[in-house]
């Protein structure tokens, strides 16, 4: 298998924790775990297949219209490298009880950007395991990646990750 770059985004801790749970499901030689907010262009370009993880935390971080706007930084990097034909899977942290109308919403932002840049998205996931009403990450009746709710259902995470990574292994080359 070509090496996977697993990049976790801005995080209060949960996204990073889940990134490491995901990595444990792969052979350690097949995956690198990296902090997306500190990554260089060169490093991001090094991989042909990716897993990206982002939490949805609203205006307090990623969408903050300040100089520390993580989305702007990330999108600028993604615009600078040739991503056409590369593969990516996305996981997202959210809270379906407090934010049922925007559950794991920001996975959708990243998805839209990656699709625009020619990336092939793998690892779509059914919505029936979650109680939510709407999400930008729910497209054509499925999530565009794996939603994880560590706030309410942390006991489900290991099993969800196992099932999802089993699916990814059939899609990554």
Ligand X SMILES: Cc1cc2nc3c(=O)[nH]c(=O)nc-3n(C[C@H](O)[C@H](O)[C@H](O)COP(=O)(O)O)c2cc1C
In the complex with ligand X, the residue whose CB is nearer, 49 or 105, is 105
Instruction: Give dist(CA 46, CA 86) in Å, integer.
Output: 11
CB of 119 to ligand X, least distance (A): 22
CB of 53 to ligand X, least distance (A): 8
Which of 169, 17, 23 shows the shortest CA–CA distance to 93? 17
Select the residue whose beta carbon is closest to ligand X and give its number. Answer: 94
Within a 13 Å sphere around the CA of 114, how many CA atoms are in the beta-carbon half? 23
Alpha-carbon dihedral sign for residues 172, 32, 35, 81: negative
CB of 111 to ligand X, least distance (A): 15
In the complex with ligand X, the residue whose CB is nearer, 82 or 101, is 101
CB of 137 to ligand X, least distance (A): 9
In the complex with ligand X, the residue whose CB is nearer, 83 or 89, is 89
In the complex with ligand X, the residue whose CB is nearer, 5 or 147, is 147
Residues at the site binding ligand X, with contacts judged by CB under 6 A: 11-15, 55-58, 60, 93-95, 99, 102-105, 150-151
In the complex with ligand X, the residue whose CB is nearer, 60 or 155, is 60
C-alpha distances (whole Å) from 114 to each of 13, 28, 49, 100, 163 are 24, 26, 12, 24, 23
CB of 131 to ligand X, least distance (A): 12
Residues 12-17: contacts with CB within 8 Å, 24+ apart? 12/55, 12/57, 14/55, 14/93, 14/148, 14/150, 14/151, 15/53, 15/54, 15/55, 15/93, 17/150
């Amino acid at each position: 298998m070509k090496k996977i770059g697993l990049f976790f985004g801005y995080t209060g801790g949960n996204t990073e924790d889940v990134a490491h749970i995901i990595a444990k499901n792969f052979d350690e030689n097949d995956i690198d775990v990296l902090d997306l907010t500190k990554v260089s262009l060169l490093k991001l370009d090094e991989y042909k297949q990716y897993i990206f993880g982002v939490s949805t935390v609203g205006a307090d971080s990623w969408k903050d219209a300040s100089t520390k706007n993580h989305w702007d930084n990330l999108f600028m990097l993604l615009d600078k490298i040739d991503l056409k034909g590369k593969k990516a899977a996305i996981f997202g942290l959210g809270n379906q009880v407090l934010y049922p109308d925007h559950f794991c919403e920001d996975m959708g932002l990243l998805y839209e950007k990656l699709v625009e840049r020619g990336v092939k998205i793998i690892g779509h996931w059914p919505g029936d395991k979650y109680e939510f009403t709407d999400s930008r990450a729910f497209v054509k009746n499925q999530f565009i990646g794996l939603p994880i709710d560590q706030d309410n259902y942390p006991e489900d995470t290991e099993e969800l990750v196992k099932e999802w990574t089993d699916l990814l292994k059939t899609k990554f080359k």
